[in-house]
């Protein structure tokens, strides 16, 4: 059985190895790049905001 070394992206759900971790939540480099290029007026912007709400920031950090 092959072992996966990547993490599941909170945006696309795919398991990938390269990306960033924000408060223990992984975002793959493909989604990160797409988010950076997306304009606020774009319909996909709201999709990204919805997915980013999964990141639970600690209030007393």
Any domain includes 60: no
Asked whether residue 29 is assigned to any structural domain, the reply reads yes
Domain assignment of residue 42, given as a range: 7-53
Q: Is 46 inside a domain boundary?
A: yes
Token couple for 21: 């971790």
User: What is the torsional sign of CA 52, 56, 60, 61?
Assistant: negative
In the chain, the number of structural domains is: 1
Q: Is residue 14 part of a domain?
A: yes
pTM above 0.85, yes or no: no
The string of DSSP codes covering the chain is: -PPP-SEE-TTT--EESSEEEETTEEEEHHHHHHHHH--TTSHHHHHHHHHHTTS---TT-
The string of pLDDT tens digits covering residues 6-32 is: 999 999 999 999 999 998 899 999 999
């Amino acid at each position: 059985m092959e072992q996966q070394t990547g993490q599941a992206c909170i945006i696309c759900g795919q398991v990938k190895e390269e990306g960033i971790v924000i408060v223990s939540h992984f975002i793959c480099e493909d989604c990160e790049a797409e988010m950076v290029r997306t304009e606020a007026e774009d319909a996909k912007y709201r999709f990204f905001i919805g997915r980013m709400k999964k990141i639970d920031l600690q209030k007393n950090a």
